[in-house]
Amino acid sequence: MRRSLALSLVALVTLAMLAGLSRLPDWRLDLTEDKLYTLSPGTRHIIQNLKGPVTFEFYFSDQTTRDMPLLRDYAHRVRALLEEYRRLSGGKIRLEVIDPQPFSEAEDQAVARGLRGAALALGSPPVYFGLAAVRGDKTAVIPFFDRERENWLEYDVSELLVQLDRDHRPRLAIYAEPDLLVRGGINPFNRQPQPPWVALESLRKFYDVTWLPRDFEQIPESTDLLMLIHPKGFKSRTLYAVDQYVVGGGRALIFVDPYAELDGPPAFVQPGRVKSSDLNPLFRAWGFEHTAKGFVGDDHYASRVTVGGRKPARHLGLLTLDREAMADDPTLAHLDKLVLSSAGALQKREGVDIAFTPLLHSSPQSMLIPAAALDYLFDPNLLMEAFKPGGKPFVLAARIDGKLKSAFPQPPQGVAVPHRTAGEKAAHLIVVGDTDLLANRLWAKIETGPDGNRTVVPFADNGLFLINAIDHLTGNPDLISIRGRGRYERPFTVVEAMRTKAQHQFQAKVEELQQKLQETEAKLAELEGGGKNEKLDAAKRQAIAQFQQERLKIRKELRRLQRQYNQEIEALGTRLKLINILGVPVLLTLLALVLEWWRRRADESRLTVPAKER
């Protein structure tokens, strides 16, 4: 009777909740700490300004992944995010969920779109888990969703929309100090052929590249990104062209260096040669500066080198950076190792209204070392003699965003162009305090086969960092504004604390009982030792019986404790389920009732006619 009454009560409460929820408007509430299920303003603006309809083809091997709960859980989160894109698009985005089973037309379509299948289990079919954004004959894809990029899931999906809206390949205007020979050629100092820098040579595959000459005075108007590599000795008109492009809301990727090792011979061969690039006249006006005469030495990230047949030594200026030295930023996502050499430090100036975001940094075990120390350095151990770490890290690369001020109060003499004293639009820059990281020797081994073809074997991620930085800066301004979101998987800290406390209490009792059990069994073994052929007296037999009973009692107590622990954990889980299942609906029902009461009051007030009007 009581059971049926309770069931009836639950049914009535459920019906009341459903009736109340039906009166709620179509609201969505994201209560997660980092708003994991809320699209950023940048993404909303991208969706709002789409140039045409888009179809999201979400490929996921549903049947093949039945026994892969972690992957299926991540796929559920990806689909929920895609549903949010569709919901906010007002019909501009259509979502198709496709299960590409083995040897099906759907699998052929996934491969044709550019997705890749991954063999996640031996002997099992490939798993497809990617996205194709399609508009007409244009397609942009995420070949496979990598959980390591989960923080940048929204960024990656929004980037597909930006790619579809782009009507041309990104256009780069690049200047590189000629003596670096980044495009290859005959080295004038040793008369030896020098191969091109692979990191820059590969840019032609993805971008439209225009190379700027020395002392250029104009930057093509169609430029999407200005890239400067070791800009040294710029004349005023060249500095002015760079200044006005950036202040006007341009985007730039700048590599400066206090000591570019490949910029000609060292000082003992050519005394007085300047190997540093200095854009501080512009940088200071823009709100930051670079250490043009000193490089960062780091005892923590120092790499081992062999010089002149000596024993391997740690070089304070040759830094091998790991993930700890990298910021949580899309330009560095999925990178594990970067190698820099004699890198300078960047610092934001005080009182300047710009966003200065460090991307790479040294360890606290670092200090600035005069660049002149490298001119006659034959033994890296010499750098250690005067090394005194300052206990603070240095910024080695940074992203700068904001409206910048010009370094020129007026144009240089003879330049007749409209002058900008300050930017009306935000500029976007990435500045790196090293140029050597782009050189082949710091990140890739180049092998030439019998047929003359070169094979690039990377041992660091320097080349990928360059591509990431260019892709980030040539993207939509709204895309640049998207920041990484937190992890979807979050521990219940209170629950984990309760679980840990209970486990510690249980474990202490278990250890105590196990100790007693071991002592009891040891005494039993002592009493029964050699006993099959010996006749035990009555006292011994009684003692053995008592210890056997004690052993059974201890084992029984262990089983009881285990059951008690499991029951407490299950009870905790049940309480949490009840809160999740009933708590939120009850709150929503109460909200619906309040809204209904408020609506009725408003209706009654409108229908009530004042006495004076009768």
Q: Pick from 372, 265, 360: which is nearest to 320 by CA?
A: 360
Residues 6+ apart with CB under 8 A from 58: 78, 79, 82, 95, 96, 97, 98, 131
Give the Cα separation of 68 and 66 in Å (integer): 6
- pLDDT at residue 496 greater than cutoff 90: no
Average predicted confidence (pLDDT) for the chain: 83
**% the chain with pLDDT above 90:** 49
Task: Mark out the alpha helices in 179-336 (DSSP H runs).
Answer: 198-201, 236-247, 280-286
Could you say which of 3.90.175, 3.40.390, 3.40.50, 1.10.10 is the CATH number of the domain covering 171-473? 3.40.50
Mean pLDDT of 18-47: 65
pLDDT of residue 488: 44
pLDDT of residue 123: 73
- pLDDT at residue 204 greater than cutoff 80: yes
Which of 254-258, 306-310, 376-380, 572-576 ranks highest by mean pLDDT?
254-258
pLDDT of residue 214: 92
Name the DSSP letter for residue 581: I
- pLDDT at residue 498 greater than cutoff 90: no
Q: Please, what is the Cα angle at 138 between 134 and 141, to 5 degrees?
A: 55
Tokens of residue 342, six digits: 């004699």
CB contact at 8 A, 354 and 484: no
- pLDDT at residue 516 greater than cutoff 60: yes
**Would you say the C-alpha torsion 15, 17, 22, 23 has a positive or negative sign?**
positive
Going by pLDDT thresholds of 50, 70 and 90, the confidence category of residue 194 is: confident
Taking CB atoms within 8 Å and a gap of at least 24, the contacts of 143-146 are: 143/114, 143/115, 143/116, 144/115, 144/116, 144/118, 145/74, 145/75, 145/78, 146/334
- pLDDT at residue 235 greater than cutoff 90: yes
The DSSP secondary structure of 90-105, one letter per residue, reads TTSEEEEEE---TTSH
Query: C-alpha 90: how far from its chain's center?
Result: 30
- pLDDT at residue 487 greater than cutoff 50: no
Counted residue by residue, the chain has a size of 614
pLDDT digits (tens, 9 = 90+) for 441-462: 999 888 776 666 677 888 999 9
Mean pLDDT of 153-162: 91
pLDDT of residue 569: 60
- pLDDT at residue 151 greater than cutoff 90: no
Q: Please, what is the Cα angle at 276 between 363 and 300, to 5 degrees?
A: 15
Going by pLDDT thresholds of 50, 70 and 90, the confidence category of residue 225 is: very high
Q: Pick from 127, 142, 126: which is nearest to 58 by CA?
A: 142
Higher pLDDT: 329 or 572? It is 329
Q: Please, what is the Cα angle at 519 between 514 and 524, to 5 degrees?
A: 120
pLDDT digits (tens, 9 = 90+) for 258-269: 999 999 887 778
Q: Pick from 377, 375, 357, 363: which is nearest to 297 by CA?
A: 363
CB contact at 8 A, 199 and 145: no
Name the DSSP letter for residue 168: S
- pLDDT at residue 587 greater than cutoff 60: yes
Average the pLDDT over each of 127-136, 446-455, 604-613 and give the range with the smallest value.
Answer: 604-613
Give the Cα separation of 222 and 209 in Å (integer): 11
Q: Please, what is the Cα angle at 284 between 279 and 290, to 5 degrees?
A: 55
- pLDDT at residue 125 greater than cutoff 70: yes
- pLDDT at residue 494 greater than cutoff 60: no
pLDDT of residue 202: 84
Q: Pick from 319, 330, 327, 316: which is nearest to 360 by CA?
A: 327
pLDDT of residue 614: 46
Q: Pick from 497, 387, 480, 393: which is nearest to 429 by CA?
A: 480
**% the chain with pLDDT above 70:** 76
Beta-carbon-side half-sphere exposure of residue 514 (alpha carbons within 13 Å): 7
pLDDT of residue 442: 94
Give CATH superfamily name and number for 36-164: Glutaredoxin (3.40.30.10)
Average the pLDDT over each of 163-167, 170-174, 594-598, 603-607 and give the range with the smallest value.
Answer: 603-607
Tokens of residue 336, six digits: 């594990």
Q: Pick from 104, 108, 163, 106: which is nearest to 133 by CA?
A: 163
Give the Cα separation of 547 and 554 in Å (integer): 10
Tokens of residue 540, six digits: 């011994």
Give the Cα separation of 38 and 32 in Å (integer): 9
pLDDT of residue 501: 57
- How far from 222 is each of 173, 215, 416, 468, CA to CA, in Å? 9, 20, 20, 21
Which of 36-45, 157-166, 552-561 ranks highest by mean pLDDT?
157-166
Going by pLDDT thresholds of 50, 70 and 90, the confidence category of residue 533 is: very low
* N-term to C-term CA, the chain: 58
Going by pLDDT thresholds of 50, 70 and 90, the confidence category of residue 180 is: very high
> Coil, strand, or helix at residue 70?
helix
